[in-house]
Amino acid sequence: MILDSYTAANRRRYSLASSLHLDVPLIIALLLTAVLGLVILYSAGNQNEDIIIRQLTRLAVAFGVMMLVAQIPPRQLLFWTPWLFTIGIILLIAVLIFGEGKGVQRWLDFGLLRFQPSEIIKITLPMILAWYLADAALPPKPLKVFVCIILIIVPTLLIAKQPDLGTSLVIASSGIFVMLLSGIRWRYIFSAMLAAIAAAPLLWYFMHDYQRQRVLTFLNPEQDLLGSGWHIVQSKIAIGSGGLYGKGWLNGTQSHLEFLPERSTDFIFAVYGEEFGLMGILLLLTLYLFIIARSLYISTQAQDTFGRLVGGSIAITFFFNIFVNIGMVTGLLPVVGLPLPLISYGGTSMVTLMIAFGILMSVHTHRKLLSQ
Amino acid sequence: MIRKLHIKDHGIETRLFKRRAIVAITIIILMILGIVARLVYLQIYSHQHFSTLSQKNRLKIVPLPPTRGLIYDRNGLLLAKNIPSFSLELIPEQVKDIDDTLQRLSKVVAISNSDRQHFKRLVKQKRRFKSIPLRYRLTEEEVARFSVNRHHYKGVSIQARLIRYYPFGSSGVHTIGYVGRIDARELQRIDTANYSATTHIGKLGIERSYEDDLHGQVGYQQEEVNAQNRTLRIIDSTPPISGKDLYLNIDMKLQLYANKVLGDYRGSIVAIDPNNGELLTLVSKPNYDPNQFVTGIGVKSYAALRDSPDKPLFNRTILGQYPPGSTVKPFIGLAGLDAGLANSDLFCPGWFMLEGDERRYRDWKKHGHGNTNLDKAIVQSCDVYFYELAQKLRIDRMHKFMSLFGFGKKTGIDIIGELAGLFPSREWKRQKRGQAWFPGETLITGIGQGFTLTTPLQLASATATLAMNGLHFRPSIVQSTQGRDDEKPVRLPVTRFKSVLLKDPQNWQKVKQSMLRVLHSPRGTARSSGQSAAYKIAGKTGTAQVFGIAQDAEYKEEEIDLRLRDHSLFIAFAPFDKPTIAIAVIAENGGSGSHVAAPIARKIFDAYLLGKEL
């Protein structure tokens, strides 16, 4: 494979990197994407240096945390998994009781530290599932599958209740990906999908008004031009007018004339599409695809079930985030407030993402130490 | 936790996972191709279409703020208006050297250091092509000076905005309230579309409680802009709908006068029309100027207001909870009459003792009132009589009767935040304090001390109910709303609560006659305030202890810290036969009710009923 030869070519640096427990191809691809993100953000944020400095700080913290996590051996992670997951669930319940904010409760405030417990679950849900599935032969028995479904549903509902539909969607998916990778029979998977489609009207019943509005707007954006329909219409114009080569960096009229809302955060992809065109987007998608492929490759090389399942889930969830965001910005999916990984302006989810990649690197690099 | 070890076939599992991973990457690649297909459709196939749209996308929707409704008093006096204000604004993108421009501007217009800091902070937060205010409220001279020199300052302009102004300043602040910049908490509460052009929102009082009426409906304007985002022409517009004007029940002239006669006392005056619950005057002192909050109060000035021991920010009319002292006696007396327990005389030696208890409950008059009936007990404010009456009534019956007058309950006034006060009961003490009720507590409740707390508004409302022989109205500040100038004002409905019914309606007159004699008889505690009045007043003085005095200790006013002195209270209504005004006056640490609060009430009655001084 290409990925293999690339590794071989870097054998020398790799040995230094492996003592630091880092995966060089992955870290290079992540850094390139982050740099590209800063370039776009500079334009999307109207050349405001403060925004760039703040984002750089976040990136530095996130990469630092990733390197720290990479030092922890997978065994250690395996040992901690049930505890971390339990703490996450307790904090989720706490946030529903003591959470900050009127109507929307996502944050817990510990004075200095203010964070969303759902971020802990993002990482620990795949881990707990892998931990639970790893001690028996795969594919899992029906009873195990049932327990796993409970483990997925509880945090998903707790987060949906905050209400944070976007995050609960990501978390449910990351759990489902573990299940798919664990080798469940295809006919179970297909029947579950059919059941999900049948249950869709039920979901409508549980949605908040603003969430229903988003779905309606998605179906007919022109109807709600003053609200979120405006987002979709304007972002399609931005991307479409970019054409093959784009209008050039800092020259996007849609974004700079303030037609495009939330252009530094959820809709940053539209700014990119307008200024760099299809060619630019292909470059970004290639980078993303490389990160995903490399992550999946790392997972297949893992020596135990835990590492395989967690790694695979991280890779697919990363893609899921990208797909939902780009789908939303290009008008293929309803507006769900999910950032574009490594590109969008914003802090918490960036750190979580890099922790996930830190785990991947730990899985990969500690393998060699173990086999000696 | 013990984890069972299973013998697993690693080969099979690895292969199974690899197969799944290959399926996953295949699906991912297919989905990415799907995205690419969508982008090809948008960026290649429909490129022409979107390109034209983006070219034509020079139409902008700009929200237009509605004009905030005005507030008038009951006689049409303007209490809150909108005045044009000129602010100096800069567009950072169009200014080459901001520091240099500020330096040169300061020669034409006064720019303080705090203006400068505030501006710099905004520059960092806002987008570079947005107009950012540097100075508010330019004087006419400054406007003129700048206009002459404006060609020297590229990217600097003067903007005219309407800002709220309260002509009577501090005199009505606690009632009318004020508007201020919308903050993050309010942003979550409001309809953001309707407020898209609005910068200010009601923060307090009427401005806050009637925000929905006052604000109005946002309008929209479609503008054509050029590539520099400058407006070329207006295509279409939906004008905003102004907020409703409000007419209050408040008589502002009376309120100003009440403010004056309360003098330097901290305290409160509430005057109410007993026939319908209309609030004529709501004074809370000390007060502060609401206008400084409209354009943003400085941190220091705000801290000074907030930390002042006199608590000027505190609206005493609805938040100040005071022990009512002897002003509860007419009500307790009425409870006694209604229960048939207040018909006998009693000898007052100057103190009262419970059986089997050493403690002496003292009368304010050291050597006692001698033989006392209910009338004398109200007129001369005998404590011992009410100790005994309270003991006979017991706490729960008192609690039930007093609740009918609204003691311990919110009055339902139409501004947000009112406190309920407290009239204790056995039940309350068990629930809130987890303690049993003591007989001694019943006694002091009978003279309005102990746990009992009332707001000035509650006292005035209860007095109005008494004046009307039990007719009980909800106190209200806003009388009517007016949509447009050519429309008639719409009167808000008057709410009547359940009336207080006595077994024998004659008893109303008995108690009211005693209250009359408080002012119009030679031994009445407020006789000096009733002298030579052109109409008859019925009232009751009260002196509420701020802190307890030890057993048998002599109370010497001069020796006590000013802030620990008794509160001076007075409730009254007039004219006696056909009451049109009921009042509650509280002067904090004013000392005796008859010396301070009663004369203030008399002056207000004279002003309102005879038109003196207004």
Per-residue pLDDT tens digits for A55-105: 999 899 999 999 999 999 988 999 999 999 999 999 888 888 876 544 455
Mean of the pLDDT values across residues B286-307?
Answer: 87
Is B47 in the A-facing interface, judged by CB distances under 8 Å? Answer: yes
DSSP code of residue B483: S
Evaluate if residue A205 carries a pLDDT over 50. yes
> What is the spatial distance between Cα B338 and Cα B327, in angstroms, rounded to a whole number?
18
Q: Kindly report, residue by residue over A232-250, the tens digit of the pLDDT.
A: 888 898 999 999 999 888 8
Range with the lowest mean pLDDT among A275-284, B1-10, B230-239?
Answer: B1-10
CATH node for B62-248: 3.90.1310.10
Range with the lowest mean pLDDT among A127-131, B190-194, B287-291?
Answer: B190-194
Q: Is A109:A94 a contact under the CB 8 Å cutoff? A: no
Please list the residues that pair with B90 across neighbouring strands. Answer: B132, B156
pLDDT of residue B298: 75
> For B266, left (φ over 0), alpha (ψ -120 to 50), or beta?
beta
Evaluate if residue B407 carries a pLDDT over 60. yes
Q: Is A24:A14 a contact under the CB 8 Å cutoff? A: yes
> How many angstroms separate the first and last alpha carbons of chain B?
85
Evaluate if residue A141 carries a pLDDT over 90. no
Q: Kindly report, residue by residue over B118-174, the tens digit of the pLDDT.
A: 788 777 766 666 678 888 888 888 888 888 888 888 888 888 888 899 999 999 999
Beta-carbon separation of A312 and B17 below 8 A? yes
3-state secondary structure of A271: helix
pLDDT of residue B613: 67
Beta-carbon separation of B57 and A237 below 8 A? yes
pLDDT of residue A372: 38
Quote the percentage of chain A above a pLDDT of 90. Answer: 43
Residue labelled with tokens 């004369």:
B599
Residue B375: how many other CB atoms lie within 10 Å: 16
From chain A, the residues in CB contact with B42 under 8 A are 236, 239-240, 273, 330
Question: Smallest Cβ distance to A289: which of B32, B39, B50?
Answer: B32
pLDDT band at residue B234 under the 50/70/90 scheme: confident
> What is the spatial distance between Cα B608 and Cα B247, in angstroms, rounded to a whole number?
19
Which tokens is A335 given? 């507006």
Evaluate if residue B597 carries a pLDDT over 60. yes
Residue B433: how many other CB atoms lie within 10 Å: 11
Q: Is B221:B60 a contact under the CB 8 Å cutoff? A: no
Cα distances (Å, whole numbers) of residue A325 to A291, A320, B11: 17, 9, 37
Backbone angles phi, psi at B198, to 5 degrees: -95, 135
Cα distances (Å, whole numbers) of residue A86 to A72, A81, A357: 20, 9, 22
Question: B267-289: string of b/e by CB count within 10 Å (b at 16+)?
Answer: bbbbbbbbbbbbbbbbbbbbbbb
Domain ranges of chain B: 62-248, 252-290+313-481+489-551+559-610
Point out the residues of B that are catalytic: 326
> What is the spatial distance between Cα A34 and Cα B45, in angstroms, rounded to a whole number?
30
Range with the lowest mean pLDDT among A29-38, A83-92, B177-186?
Answer: B177-186
Mean of the pLDDT values across residues B280-306?
Answer: 88
Evaluate if residue B273 carries a pLDDT over 90. yes
pLDDT of residue B560: 61
Mean of the pLDDT values across residues B215-224?
Answer: 84
Task: Report ipTM (2 d.p.).
Answer: 0.90
Beta-carbon separation of B35 and A285 below 8 A? yes
> What is the spatial distance between Cα B457 and Cα B271, in angstroms, rounded to a whole number?
8
Task: Single out the residue of B258, B247, B302 nearest to residue B284, CA to CA.
Answer: B258
> What is the spatial distance between Cα B501 and Cα B8, in angstroms, rounded to a whole number?
86
Task: Single out the residue of B30, B507, B412 nearest to residue B209, CA to CA.
Answer: B412
pLDDT of residue A257: 67
pLDDT of residue B550: 46
Quote the percentage of chain A above a pLDDT of 70. Answer: 86
pLDDT averaged over chain A?
84
Q: How many residues does chain A have?
A: 372
Which tokens is A89 given? 């669930």
CA dihedral (A214, A216, A218, A223) positive or negative: negative
> What is the spatial distance between Cα A113 and Cα A90, in angstroms, rounded to a whole number?
17
Question: Smallest Cβ distance to B51: which of A243, A259, A319?
Answer: A243
Evaluate if residue A363 carries a pLDDT over 50. yes
Residue predicted with more confidence, B235 or B399: B399
Evaluate if residue B1 carries a pLDDT over 50. no
From chain A, the residues in CB contact with B193 under 8 A are 226-227
Residue labelled with tokens 């850094």:
A31
> What is the spatial distance between Cα B318 and Cα B134, in angstroms, rounded to a whole number?
38
Is B25 in the A-facing interface, judged by CB distances under 8 Å? Answer: yes
Q: Kindly report, residue by residue over A265-320, the tens digit of the pLDDT.
A: 889 999 999 999 999 999 999 999 999 999 999 999 988 889 999 999 999 999 99
Task: Single out the residue of B399, B386, B531 nearest to residue B444, CA to CA.
Answer: B386
pLDDT of residue A224: 59
Instruction: List alpha helices for A71-185, DSSP H.
Output: 74-98, 117-133, 142-160, 165-181
From chain B, the residues in CB contact with A227 under 8 A are 193
pLDDT of residue B8: 61
pLDDT band at residue B299 under the 50/70/90 scheme: confident
pTM for this structure?
0.61
pLDDT band at residue B573 under the 50/70/90 scheme: very high
- Nearest chain A Cα distance for residue B79, angstroms: 33
Q: Kindly report, residue by residue over B328-362, the tens digit of the pLDDT.
A: 999 999 999 999 988 888 888 888 888 877 888 88
Q: Is A247:A280 a contact under the CB 8 Å cutoff? A: no
Evaluate if residue B583 carries a pLDDT over 90. yes
Is B56 in the A-facing interface, judged by CB distances under 8 Å? Answer: no
Evaluate if residue A1 carries a pLDDT over 60. no
- Nearest chain A Cα distance for residue B129, angstroms: 9
CATH node for B252-290+313-481+489-551+559-610: 3.40.710.10
pLDDT of residue A33: 96
Range with the lowest mean pLDDT among A306-310, B55-59, B409-413?
Answer: B55-59
DSSP code of residue B476: B
CA dihedral (A219, A220, A221, A224) positive or negative: negative
Q: E strand or H helix at B210, and its extent?
A: none
Q: E strand or H helix at B13, and its extent?
A: helix B10-40
Please list the residues that pair with B497 across neighbouring strands. Answer: B472
